[in-house]
Amino acid sequence: MDAPEDSSNYFTDFTLAQIVDMENLYKELGDQSLHKDFCQTVASTFSSSVNRNGKSSTITWKQVQSWFQGKQKQQNQAKFKKTVPSPPLQIFDLSNLSDAGNAGNVVGNATCGQRPKGKASDVSDLAFEAKSARDYAWYDVSSFLTYRVLRTGELEVRVRFSGFDNGHDEWVNVRTSVRERSIPVVPSECGRVNVGDLLLCFQEREDQALYCDAHVVNIKREIHDNTRCNCVFLVRYDYDNTEEPLGLDRICRRPDE
């Protein structure tokens, strides 16, 4: 049975982190990634993930294989397709939507009070991140595609994540899941991080690597200079309450901190 052109549209039980893993595996192995034994290994690893977040506990090897088949078909077709320029994306000023109240302020600021904003390249210097409902991790936003106002008055925007195609676009709540991009902390700024602060932390587990929200529980300060920091930050992740000590290279602070 032929796989769909973009299997990622159909197998939404994969998290974005798992899709990234499969993208990298396909780049490395190519057609070898379709072998049953390999797909069984990948499926077993995904199924034992500690961050399934309410999803079905089992990923089958056929799902994994079908995803790789879809990727293969997509690439083969791309070789013979004539490249057609994409129409310019429209970015709307969401801050003027009275029904949305203050929910549109974050994205509304991105458009500087103009509507519409023309090509996506016009806002290429803007920096936002959005939280995916698939794995509750934060990803950089490539562009805001459109918006909608729910019956509750809440505002949602459809985002395209940086590094992902349109098969991974998501509707996200502006108030709770869109914000200015977090800032990596450099050694000279480590003193700005305090206990209780909200950080975006790089959580690296055996089966995945995600940027997740966490709060600082404790800080072990060490003597250092402006080029190297040896301080240890004990953080508690918001989504599962686990704690982990991290170095400066794995934390990002909020712009307003």
Tokens 């549209």 — which residue? 9
Q: Which residues contact 85 (CB under 8 A, 6 or more apart)?
A: none
Residues 188 and 245 in one domain: yes
The lowest-confidence range among 24-28, 112-116, 126-130, 215-219 is 112-116
Rounded to the nearest integer, the mean pLDDT of the chain is 74
| Average pLDDT of the segment spanning 183-195 | 91
Q: Is residue 1 one of the residues assigned to a domain?
A: no
Per mean pLDDT, which range of 25-29, 62-66, 67-71, 109-113 is the poorest? 109-113
Q: Is residue 63 part of a domain?
A: yes
CATH of the domain at 237: 2.30.30.140
Residue 104, SS3 per DSSP: helix
Mean per-residue pLDDT for 172-178?
A: 92
Tell me whether residue 98 is in a domain. no
- Among residues 180, 200, 218, the one where a domain terminates is 180
Residues 195 and 242 in one domain: yes
Domain co-membership, 174 together with 190: no
| Residue 190 within a domain | yes
Q: Is residue 208 part of a domain?
A: yes
Q: Would you say 70 and 144 are in contact if contact means Cβ atoms under 8 Å apart?
A: no
Number of domains in the chain: 3
- Residue 116 preceded by cis peptide, ω within 30: yes
What is the pLDDT at residue 11?
46
Residues of the domain holding 204: 183-253
Bridge-based pairing of strands 209-220 and 138-149 is unpaired
CATH code of residue 153: 2.40.50.40
pTM for this prediction: 0.56
**Confidence label for 36 from pLDDT (cuts 50, 70 and 90):** confident
- For residue 78, what pLDDT is reported? 59
Position with higher pLDDT, 245 vs 34: 245
pLDDT level of residue 124 (50, 70, 90 thresholds): very low
For residue 231, pLDDT beyond 50: yes
Q: Minimal CA–CA distance to 214: which of 255, 174, 184, 245?
A: 245
Q: Per-residue pLDDT for 94 more than 50?
A: no
How far is the CA of 26 from the CAs of 3, 142, 208, 239, 244, in angstroms? 16, 23, 17, 30, 31
Residues 64-80, mean pLDDT to the nearest whole number? 77
CA-based nearest residue to 137, from 208, 38, 69, 207:
208
